[in-house]
């Protein structure tokens, strides 16, 4: 499947750092980087991934969590299909983005987030 990673909020140097770390999780990313000479201008990356989106998300979270130089939250973009966005914790409030503590889903208000998070308690 085709997955998207939006790195437009990530510092330029961290983009390389992140992609390098991601290479260890996904050979697909290494192949992608070998093909590309330049990074996409909008810093939105597309990868072909041989598993589900949730599996992809798991790997990306693991990559970010295990690299102590990367201080980002991984958010699932609610407006685009199969898209993960990396955000700096400081940027979140400014952007009016609220992230579910359980699954990373993005809400646009505190209330929406609260309603969403409540759903997790029923599982
Ligand atoms: Zn959630």
pLDDT digits (tens, 9 = 90+) for 14-42: 998 999 899 888 887 888 788 877 888 89
What does the pLDDT read at residue 74?
Answer: 92
What does the pLDDT read at residue 99?
Answer: 86
CA of 32 to the centre of ligand 1 (A): 30
Ranges of the chain whose pLDDT falls below 50: none
What does the pLDDT read at residue 36?
Answer: 77
DSSP H helices, the chain, are: 12-25, 27-35, 53-66, 89-95, 110-120
Structure-token pair, residue 100: 């579910």
> Tokens 């295990």 appear where?
66
What does the pLDDT read at residue 123?
Answer: 58
Task: Please state the domain count of the chain.
Answer: 1
What does the pLDDT read at residue 60?
Answer: 94
CA of 34 to the centre of ligand 1 (A): 35
CA of 72 to the centre of ligand 1 (A): 18
Q: Kindly state whether residue 112 falls inside one of the protein's structural domains.
A: no
What does the pLDDT read at residue 3?
Answer: 93
CA of 114 to the centre of ligand 1 (A): 10
Q: Kindly state whether residue 121 falls inside one of the protein's structural domains.
A: no
**Secondary structure class of 25 (helix, strand, coil):** helix
Q: Kindly state whether residue 103 falls inside one of the protein's structural domains.
A: no
What does the pLDDT read at residue 4?
Answer: 94
Q: Kindly state whether residue 115 falls inside one of the protein's structural domains.
A: no
Q: State how far the alpha carbon of 15 is from the alpha carbons of 23, 40, 74, 90, in Å.
A: 12, 11, 14, 17
CA of 77 to the centre of ligand 1 (A): 12
**47: β partners:** 3
CA distance 113 to 117: 6
Q: Kindly state whether residue 36 falls inside one of the protein's structural domains.
A: yes
What does the pLDDT read at residue 47?
Answer: 86
CA of 8 to the centre of ligand 1 (A): 23
Beta-carbon contacts of residue 47 (< 8 Å; ≥ 6 apart): 2, 3, 5, 26, 28, 29, 32, 56
Q: Kindly state whether residue 105 falls inside one of the protein's structural domains.
A: no
Range of the domain at 38: 2-95
Q: Kindly state whether residue 100 falls inside one of the protein's structural domains.
A: no
């Amino acid at each position: 499947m085709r997955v998207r990673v939006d790195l437009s909020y990530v510092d330029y140097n961290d983009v390389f750092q992140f992609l390098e770390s991601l290479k260890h999780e996904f050979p697909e990313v290494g192949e992608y980087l070998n093909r590309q000479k330049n990074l996409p201008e909008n810093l939105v990356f597309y990868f072909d991934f041989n598993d589900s989106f949730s599996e992809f998300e798991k790997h990306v979270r693991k990559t970010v969590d295990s690299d102590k130089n990367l201080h980002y939250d991984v958010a699932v973009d609610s407006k685009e299909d199969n898209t993960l966005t990396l955000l700096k914790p400081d940027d979140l409030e400014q952007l009016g983005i609220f992230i579910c503590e359980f699954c990373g889903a993005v809400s646009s208000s505190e209330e929406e987030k609260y309603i969403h998070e409540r759903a997790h308690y029923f599982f």
